[in-house]
Chain A
Amino acid sequence: MSKFRTLMAAMTALGLMAGAAAAQTTMRIGLAEDPDALDPTFARTFVGRIVFAGLCDKLFDIDNDLKIVPQLATGFEWSDAGKTLTLKLRDGVTFHDGEKMDAEAVRFSLDRHLNAPRSGRRAEISVVQTITVVDPLTVRLTLSTAFAPLVAQFTDRAGMIVSPKAAIAAGDQFAARPVCAGPFRFVERIAQDRIVLEKFPQYWNVANVHVDRVIYQPIPDNSVRFANLQAGALDMIERLQPTDLPAARRNARLRVVPISELGYQGITINTGNGERAKSPIGSDARVREAFDLAIDRAVINQVVYNGEFTPTAQAVPPSSPYHNKNLKASARNLDRAKALMAQTGLRLPVVVNLTTPPNPDLRQVAEIVQAMTKEAGFDVRINVMEFASSLNAAERGEFEAYLLAWSGRPDPDGNLYVFVTKDGPQNYGKYLNPEVDRLMDEQRTIADPTQRMAVLEKISAITAADRPILYMWHRTNFLAHGQRLTGFVPVTDGLIRLQGVRLAAN
C-alpha cells in the first residue's frame, strides 16, 4: 500500500512538474537583422534597441503620444534656469545579478555612457558636467548649458542603467553577458541565430510580465521572416514589408500593427559640401523648390507603398507634440515649378544626380521622381550605391541629392539639430544658415513646451524655404503577430515592449 502511495505521489509530482513545464510560455520574435553589441553604452543599431526593450529598463520611457513616463526614475525637476536636473529614482529595484539599483548605480552608468572610449552615448548627453548622488534615491545632474531634450535622451539607451558590479567585473566583455534591470534577464546569445532572455522574477513590475522566455531570432530575408510567422514558428515579426501586407491582412490568424515612425524619408541636397554643391540644385533655392513642387508625394506613396506612409514637409512626425500642423506637404504644382525654372534662366534640362541606396523600393521612388521632375525640366540621373558606400560618399560631399532616411528620435531636437546646424555631424550637405544655428541652440534651452514650439516653428519656416532636405514622408513600420498573442501596446518608436504581452496556449 505504501509503495502504491509513494508511486501515486511521485506520479502526481511528475504530473505537476509536467504541467508547470507546459505552462512555460516562450515568445519568439523575428528580427530583421542581428543586433550589434548588447551593451547600452556601445550599441548602435535599431534591432539592438528592440532587444534592450526586454533586457534593460531606462530612467524614463515614452508612451504612444511621445509623453515622457517614469520607468527606473519616478520623476524629474529642472532648476537653476534649466542647468540642473534632479532625478528621483524608484525604490526597491534590483539588477539581474541581485544588486540594488540606486543613485550610485545611476551615477556609474551615466559616467560610463559619458566617458567610456567609443561610447555611442556621449554625444547624446555630453552637456552633463557633474553627476552627484544626493541620497540613495536622488541624483543631481549639472549641465554645461541648459538642454531641454536631455530627459528625452534618457528614454533611450542613454537612460539605461547597468549593474556596476557586473560591468566592472566583465570589462570589455559586458556585452557577452549584459546585466540590467529590465523585465527579462540574459540567458544566451548565439551570433546570427538567437538571443534568449528569461523572465526576471524580481523585476519591479513583474506583475505585468506574463511571458516566461523570449527568443529573438534574426531573419534578414523579409519573405522568410514572414513565412516563419505564417507557419507559426514565430509569434511576432518586425518590419513586415508593405508588399506582404495584403497577405498578412487576409490571414485570419495574423494581426498587423502599423506604427508611424519617429523619423522620415528625405532627399538631402548638397548645398555647401565641396565642389558638387555648386550644382544648380545645390546653389539655388528656387531650383530646389521647383524640384520639390514637381514631386507628387501622394502618388509615390500610393504606387510604391500602397498608400501606407504619411507624406510630409518636415522632420518632426505627426505623433510628436512638436509637429508643426501648419506645415503641410505641398501638392504637386507643375506650373509653378516650370515658372520657377524659367525665372532662374538656366538652360533646360537641369541635371540632378540622385544618389540612391539599392533597396528596391527606393530605386522605384528614384525612378518616379525622375519621371515626375522631367516634366519640370530636370534630368535626374540615378546613381544607385550600396548603403555604406553612399554614406561615405555623402560625408565627402560626393553627391548632389541623396535619398536618405532617418529613424527618428522622440525629441524634435534629435531629428533636426545634427542635420541642419553648421557643425552637425550628419549635415552631409553642409547647409549653413546662422539664423537656424542660433534658433536651434535657443530651442535647446527652453523647457516650456509652448515657448519651445514657437522657436521650432520659426526654424521650420526657414528650412521649408531653404530646403536643405526635401522631406518626403514618415514611413510606417509594420509589426505583425499571431492571434494567440495579446496585450501588445504599440509605441511610435517601433520597439517591442513586452510588459503586458500574453501568449495563449496553442
Chain B
Amino acid sequence: MFAFLARRLASIVPTLIVVSMLVFGLQLLLPGDPASMLAGEDRDEQSLAEIRAYYGLDQPIYVQYLRWIGGVLQGDFGTSLRIGQPVLELVLAKLPVTLQLGGMAFLIACLIGIPMGVLSAVRKDSVWDYAANAIALWGLSTPNFWLGIMLILLVSVELGWLPPSGYVSPFEDWKQSLATTIMPAFVLGNSIAAVFMRHTRAAMLQALNQDYVRTARAKGLSEKIVINKHALRNALVPVVTLGALELGALFSGAVLTEQVFTIPGFGKLVVDAVFNRDYLVVQGVVLVTATAYVGFNLLADIAYFLINPRLRQQ
C-alpha cells in the first residue's frame, strides 16, 4: 500500500508542473490585453504602461512564469488584478463554497442515481425501468443553466419557497445555507445522477448474470442480500471510478450553476476572472482545480483498494 501510494504521489509532481505551464501558456493565447481591461474606459498610454509595469506584464514571458511559479511554491499566488485581493485568499474563501455545493450535489446524485440504477436493473423491462431511463435521459439532456433559471422562476418567484440566489455560510446560519444551496445542488447533481443511474444499471445487469449471484440464490439467500451484498458491491467498482471522474465534472458544472445562482464559489471566480482577464486568478484557480482533480483520482485508487480485495493482495 505504501509503495503504491508513493509511486502515485511521485507521478503527480510532473503532472502538476506540466499543468502549470499549460495554464500559463493558454492564458497568453487568450486575446485581449489584461492591462487595457484593467484600465477600463479611460485608457491612455501612460496609465497602460504604469499598469503593465506594476503587474510585471511588460516582462518577458519566461520571467513572468518563473516569478509566478516561484511565488506559488512559497504559497503566494499573486494578487487579483481587478479587486486587489490576494489570489490565495480568494481561492481559500471560495473553495469551501464550491466544496459544499459539490458535496451536496454529489450526495444528491448518489441518492438518486444509484438506487434508480439498481431498481431499473432488478426490474428490467418493467415500468420502473422505463421510468428510470426516461428520468436519466431527461437529466442528461437538460442544460444546467436552463434548469436553474426554470427552478428560480418556479420555486422562488412563483411559489416563494426558496431564495432565488446568493449564498449563506453554514457556520453563519445552517438553515439559510441549506435554503440557498439546495436548488443549485439539485441542478448540479441532476445530470450526474443520470450518469450514475445508467452506469449502475449496466454494471448491475452484468453482475446479476454472474455465476456467483446464481450460486448465492441457489444457497437460498434472500433476494435483498443477493442484490445488496453480492451484486451491488461488485457492481459499484466501476461506479466509484466514474464517481471520481464526475467529481472533476462537478467543478466544471459548478461554473455555470454558480453563475446562474450567483453562488460566490470557484466557478464564478474563474468565469469572472476570464472575462476580466484577471489572469493570476485564472491561473490560481485552474492550478488548484487540477491539483484537486489529481487528488480525487488518487482517492479513487485508494477506494479500489478498500473495495476490491484482489488489488490488496497484488
Name which of B111-119, B157-165, B283-291 contacts chain A. Answer: B157-165
Report if A120-B83 is in contact (Cβ < 8 Å); known contacts: A224-B164, A224-B262.
Answer: no
A window 114-130: CB within 8 A of B: 117-120, 122-124
**A425 near B44: Cβ-Cβ < 8 Å:** yes
Tell me the minimal C-beta distance from A394 to chain B in angstroms: 10
CB-CB under 8 A from B90, the residues of chain A are 191
A24: Cβ under 8 A from any B Cβ: no
Report if A426-B43 is in contact (Cβ < 8 Å); known contacts: A176-B84, A388-B36.
Answer: yes
Question: Interface 1/0s, chain A 156-190, versus B by CB < 8 A?
Answer: 00000000000000001101100000000000001
Tell me the minimal C-beta distance from A422 to chain B in angstroms: 14
Tell me which of A117, A124, A218, A230 contacts B42 (CB under 8 A): A124
CB-CB under 8 A from A228, the residues of chain B are 164-166
**B264 near A233: Cβ-Cβ < 8 Å:** no
A217: Cβ under 8 A from any B Cβ: yes
Tell me the minimal C-beta distance from A440 to chain B in angstroms: 16
B window 98-141: CB within 8 A of A: none
Closest residue of B by beta carbon distance from A224: B165
How distant is the Cα of A45 from the Cα of B40 in the complex, in angstroms? 6
How distant is the Cα of A176 from the Cα of B79 in the complex, in angstroms? 13
CB-CB under 8 A from A26, the residues of chain B are none
CB-CB under 8 A from A418, the residues of chain B are 44
B269: Cβ under 8 A from any A Cβ: yes
A406: Cβ under 8 A from any B Cβ: yes
**B84 near A224: Cβ-Cβ < 8 Å:** no
Report if A392-B33 is in contact (Cβ < 8 Å); known contacts: A120-B42, A231-B160.
Answer: yes
B182: Cβ under 8 A from any A Cβ: no
**B165 near A191: Cβ-Cβ < 8 Å:** no
CB-CB under 8 A from A175, the residues of chain B are 83-84
Question: Interface 1/0s, chain A 267-295, versus B by CB < 8 A?
Answer: 00000000000000000000000000000
How distant is the Cα of A220 from the Cα of B271 in the complex, in angstroms? 11
Closest residue of A by beta carbon distance from B271: A220
Tell me the minimal C-beta distance from B263 to chain A in angstroms: 9
A window 97-135: CB within 8 A of B: 117-120, 122-124
A219: Cβ under 8 A from any B Cβ: yes
Question: Interface 1/0s, chain A 377-393, versus B by CB < 8 A?
Answer: 00000000011110110
B window 230-281: CB within 8 A of A: 259-262, 264, 268-269, 272, 275, 277
Report if A37-B83 is in contact (Cβ < 8 Å); known contacts: A228-B165, A233-B165.
Answer: yes
Question: Interface 1/0s, chain A 207-245, versus B by CB < 8 A?
Answer: 000000000011111011001101111000000000000
**A191 near B262: Cβ-Cβ < 8 Å:** no
**A193 near B277: Cβ-Cβ < 8 Å:** no
**B156 near A227: Cβ-Cβ < 8 Å:** yes
**B47 near A223: Cβ-Cβ < 8 Å:** no
How distant is the Cα of A122 from the Cα of B157 in the complex, in angstroms? 46
Report if A36-B32 is in contact (Cβ < 8 Å); known contacts: A193-B264, A218-B262.
Answer: no
CB-CB under 8 A from A34, the residues of chain B are 83, 272
CB-CB under 8 A from A118, the residues of chain B are 47, 50-51, 54
**A123 near B152: Cβ-Cβ < 8 Å:** no
How distant is the Cα of A173 from the Cα of B83 in the complex, in angstroms? 11
How distant is the Cα of A425 from the Cα of B41 in the complex, in angstroms? 10
**A120 near B47: Cβ-Cβ < 8 Å:** yes
A window 31-59: CB within 8 A of B: 34, 36-37, 44-45
Task: Name, among A219, A223, A388, A425, the residue most crowded by chain B CB atoms within 10 Å (CB to CB).
Answer: A388
CB-CB under 8 A from B80, the residues of chain A are 191
CB-CB under 8 A from B153, the residues of chain A are 227
How distant is the Cα of A239 from the Cα of B54 in the complex, in angstroms? 33
Tell me the minimal C-beta distance from A218 to chain B in angstroms: 7
Interface size class of A (residues with CB under 8 A): 35 or more
A457: Cβ under 8 A from any B Cβ: no
Interface size class of B (residues with CB under 8 A): 35 or more
How distant is the Cα of A124 from the Cα of B44 in the complex, in angstroms? 11
Report if A123-B42 is in contact (Cβ < 8 Å); known contacts: A221-B260, A388-B33.
Answer: yes
Closest residue of A by beta carbon distance from B32: A388
CB-CB under 8 A from A219, the residues of chain B are 165, 262
B298: Cβ under 8 A from any A Cβ: no
**B166 near A233: Cβ-Cβ < 8 Å:** yes
B46: Cβ under 8 A from any A Cβ: yes
B45: Cβ under 8 A from any A Cβ: yes
A483: Cβ under 8 A from any B Cβ: no
A437: Cβ under 8 A from any B Cβ: no
Question: Interface 1/0s, chain A 473-487, versus B by CB < 8 A?
Answer: 000000000000000
Tell me the minimal C-beta distance from B156 to chain A in angstroms: 5
B167: Cβ under 8 A from any A Cβ: yes
How distant is the Cα of A117 from the Cα of B54 in the complex, in angstroms? 9
A359: Cβ under 8 A from any B Cβ: no
A301: Cβ under 8 A from any B Cβ: no
**A123 near B262: Cβ-Cβ < 8 Å:** no
**A120 near B46: Cβ-Cβ < 8 Å:** no
CB-CB under 8 A from B259, the residues of chain A are 220-221
Report if A227-B262 is in contact (Cβ < 8 Å); known contacts: A44-B38, A124-B42, A392-B33.
Answer: no
Tell me the minimal C-beta distance from A266 to chain B in angstroms: 14
Tell me the minimal C-beta distance from A189 to chain B in angstroms: 8
A198: Cβ under 8 A from any B Cβ: no
Closest residue of B by beta carbon distance from A117: B50
Closest residue of B by beta carbon distance from A406: B41
Chain B residues within 8 Å of A, Cβ to Cβ: 31-33, 36-47, 50-51, 54, 80, 82-85, 90, 93-94, 149, 152-153, 156-157, 160, 163-167, 259-262, 264, 268-269, 272, 275, 277
Please, could you name 24 A-B residue pairs with CB atoms under 8 Å apart, sorted by A? A34-B272, A36-B38, A36-B82, A44-B40, A118-B54, A119-B47, A123-B44, A175-B83, A176-B84, A191-B85, A191-B269, A192-B94, A192-B264, A220-B272, A228-B165, A228-B166, A231-B160, A388-B31, A388-B36, A388-B275, A389-B32, A392-B33, A406-B41, A425-B43
Sorted nearest first, the 4 A-B pairs with minimum C-beta distance are A44-B40, A388-B32, A389-B31, A193-B264
* Beyond A34-B83, A36-B82, A395-B36, 16 extra complex contacts between A and B, CB < 8 Å: A36-B38, A118-B54, A120-B40, A120-B47, A176-B84, A191-B90, A191-B93, A192-B94, A223-B152, A224-B165, A227-B152, A227-B156, A228-B164, A388-B275, A418-B44, A425-B44
